């Protein structure tokens, strides 16, 4: 079984995004970039499938600038077998990403697409669902556990208020939620080994899919700031203030 894992290079999880003064976007110059945390979870899950011999090959794919090769090297160091970069200097919308991935999938013919539920930059939470729709594959989003069977997968999904379990036929697209696993750190020997693993770079335009943006970003602004309030001395004062000032009780 072949697993394809799309990964995205985004601002590092621990870095606070700052809006550019001209309101054209978020300032990413000289900011630490990393693999999107949900993509890390997806890579980890695919690599575990490979280690349990449930998968035979793990292919990581990224769409982004040439620097996204670093993100793919991280995926390779975590255990992916090879990587493909679809180079694009334009930031693609989820629909365009899904179309580009569908074109790669037509060539690669994986049995499973394992990906993150959301990228922490655009926060769209849409690409996996769109990809499944375009491919006509079943989907299981927000996975918290995956069991592979013959030609199918049983997926427990995080839903509001609990867990839902679905059985889906393969090929399918599964998106990872937070608790699916805890991604490993790549060891130094594996980082060295990853440098020798194959990484193909293609221009995203060579796929011949419609990647034109559908949304025009008019401006990007700072959210209204919330002013800090007062410190109280003890619990009794807190309850008193909640009662008299906030009118809560």
Partner 1 sequence: MAVLVIADHDNASVRDATHKTVTAALQLSPDVDVLVAGQAAKAAADHAARISGVRKVLLAESDALGQGVAEAVEAAVVPLMGGYDAVLTPATSQGKNFSPRIAAKLDVAQISEIIQVVDAATFVRPIYAGNALETVQSADAKKVITVRATAFKAAEEGGSASVESVSAGAGAANTRFIDQKLVKSARPELAGAKIVVSGGRAMGSAEEFQRVIEPLADKLGAAVGASRAAVDAGYAPNDYQVGQTGKVVAPELYVAIGISGAIQHLAGMKDSKYIVAINKDADAPIFQVADYGLVADYKVAVPELMDALTAAGK
Give the footprint of partner 1 on residues 90-129 (CB under 8 A). 93-95, 98, 118, 120-129
- 202 forms bridges with which residues in the sheet? 86
Nearest Cα neighbor of 174 from 138, 147, 148, 224 is 138
Among 72, 77, 101, 132, which residue interacts with partner 1 (rule: CB under 8 A)?
132
At its nearest, how many Å lie between partner 1 and the CB of residue 181?
Answer: 11
Peptide bond between residue 156 and the one before it cis (omega within 30 degrees of 0): no
Query: x-or-dash pattern for partner 1, window 194-233, by CB under 8 A?
Result: --------------------xxxxxxxxxx--x-xxxxxx
Least distance CB 167 / partner 1 (angstroms):
4
Number of residues that bind partner 1 (CB under 8 A): 81
Applying CB under 8 A, does 159 fall inside the site for partner 1?
A: yes
Cα angle: 198, vertex 202, 207; to 5 degrees: 130
Residue 31 sits in the site that holds partner 1 (CB under 8 A): no
Instruction: Closer to partner 1 by CB, 4 or 97: give it.
Output: 97
Nearest to 121 by CA among 21, 192, 15, 194: 15
- Please list, residue by residue across 16-38, b when 16 or more beta carbons sit within 10 angstroms of its beta carbon and e when fewer do: eeeeeeeeeeeebeeeebbbbbb
* Residue 57 found at the interface with partner 1 (CB under 8 A): no
Tell me the two tokens of residue 169.
Answer: 């036929």
User: Least separation, in Å, of the C-beta of 9 and partner 1?
Assistant: 14
Task: Assess 187 for contact with partner 1 (CB under 8 A).
Answer: no
Region from 73-81, 166-174, 188-196, 199-207 binding partner 1, contact rule CB under 8 A: 166-174
Give whichever of 92 and 186 is closer to partner 1, judged by the CB atom.
Answer: 92
85 interacts with partner 1 by CB under 8 A: no
**Among residues 103 and 126, whose Cβ is nearest to partner 1?**
126
> What is the DSSP code (8-state) at residue 58?
E
Show Cβ contacts of residue 38 under 8 Å, excluding neighbours closer than 6 positions: 115, 116, 117, 118, 119, 120, 175, 176, 177, 178
């Amino acid at each position: 079984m072949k697993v394809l894992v799309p990964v995205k290079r985004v601002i590092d999880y621990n870095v606070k995004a700052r809006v550019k003064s001209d309101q054209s976007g978020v300032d990413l110059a000289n900011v630490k970039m990393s693999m999107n945390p949900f993509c890390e979870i997806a890579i980890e899950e695919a690599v575990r499938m490979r280690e349990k011999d449930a998968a035979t090959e793990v292919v990581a794919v990224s769409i982004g600038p040439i620097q996204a090769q670093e993100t793919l090297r991280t995926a390779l160091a975590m255990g992916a077998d090879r990587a493909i970069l679809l180079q694009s200097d334009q930031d693609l919308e989820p629909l365009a990403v899904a179309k580009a991935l569908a074109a790669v999938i037509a060539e690669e013919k994986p049995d499973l697409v394992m990906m993150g539920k959301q990228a922490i930059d655009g926060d769209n939470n849409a690409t996996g669902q769109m990809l499944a729709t375009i491919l006509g594959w079943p989907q299981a989003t927000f996975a918290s556990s995956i069991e592979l069977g013959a030609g199918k997968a049983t997926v427990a999904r995080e839903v509001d208020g609990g867990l839902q379990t679905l059985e889906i036929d393969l090929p399918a697209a599964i998106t990872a939620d937070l608790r699916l696993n805890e991604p490993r750190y790549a060891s130094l020997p594996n980082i060295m080994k990853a440098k020798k693993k194959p990484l193909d770079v293609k221009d995203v335009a060579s796929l011949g899919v419609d990647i034109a943006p559908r949304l025009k970003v008019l401006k990007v602004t700072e959210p209204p700031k919330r002013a800090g309030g007062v410190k109280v001395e003890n619990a009794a004062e807190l309850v008193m203030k909640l009662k008299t000032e906030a009118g809560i009780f």
